[in-house]
Structure 1
Amino acid sequence: MFVDPAIFLAAMGITLLEISEASAVGLAISSEGGNKVFLYVALGVLIVFVIAFAVGQQMARLPIVYIRIVAGVLLLYFGLRLTRSARRAVLRSRSSVPYKDEGIEKGVFYTAFSVGLVEAFEAAIVLIALIPNNFYSTLYGMTLGLLVVVLGTVILKSQVRKIKQAKMKVVVAALLLSFSVFWFAEAVITVSDLWLVPLFIIFGLAVYFFAHRK
């Protein structure tokens, strides 16, 4: 069983790149849905990867554009809800009254699952191209990439918990809105992942000023 270093590194790299984005969203929204959020992200990722290795190139024919649009709508909806929730959390923090937002948890799980699906699907397109060249190198690279992401998520999770709820809601809302616009754009044109940075800054400032307005 020969392991091709190039295939191995390519599989690990694309897995790290795409699944780390899903992990980032999971970390952000875990403040709303708790640890179950990661189960939904993982479920979305595993469904795609299992199918990818089971049916291979047939999966590449699925219309990613529709998956992105549906996921974008979900993220837009819950991003806007969290923006309003951030405003309420800021008002509550000013009055020193304990606050817990109700009714948003179920939607957070749908969001986590859809993010896992989209990011895994994008990684799977590359993995499917690598599988015919060396199945085991692709499998091992993907597995190591997943393990690294899981380890990084566990390490960062304790730090995320230290952030105040009002601030966390601002970050989460900005992140969801950024991915929403990004995926809407990707549905029609080719967009670099680097655009997520300015989008996050813009939405971060917008949500912050909305939440903290007098």
Structure 2
Amino acid sequence: MLCYQKKCRIRLQYAWKELWTALINLLKFLLSNESYLIKKHDIISLSTKVVNVFNLFITFGDTFLPNPGTYDELYYEIIRMHHVFDNLYSMALRYSNSEGQWKETAVRLTNALTNVRAIINHFSPKVDSWAATNHLSSLTEEQVLEVVRGNYDTLTLKLQDSLDQFDRYTEKPKETAFFTQLVRQIIVDVRADVTKANQEFTPQAFASVT
């Protein structure tokens, strides 16, 4: 849907903040359960897909988000939740510097985080400086947004390729063969169990009749 919006420049009136919050919560879950999940799932590739959704908003959001204020809110959420992206980057570095099976996917995740980290590294010091200048220990959302709006011109982002490419939906995914064989085996097992149960039941039934 996002790729279609980007292509056709459709400005959908939607509470995008809810999507960003859900994606960040997903990253938090993956990070909190890394040691368990990494043994069974490719959480690094999943994390890269999540980050690339943010990259799509960062790079092309001004063409399909409903208004400039929504684009500002995207930056606010990234800055506000910077610790999640910092931890994700640390995890990616850890795996990319090792020689394990996740090295290549971790390198891709590290590269995918380039613009997110650029936003954090660019705006966070400016937010802190603004707070210090105004003698404030904490800022409201509107105050942070004011800093963001005033510092876009000095932000440098990297244009990332293929953000709008995706795996098209198919009714016959690659897992079809596995599940087809699984269902067939279940049917065979059930038939065998039913046949065995009938064979065991018949002598008992005749015995009770006599």
With normalisation by structure 2, the TM-score equals 0.30
User: Which structure has the highest helix share of the two?
Assistant: 1
- More relative contact order, 1 or 2 (CA 8 Å, 6+ apart): 1
Structure with max Cα Rg: 2
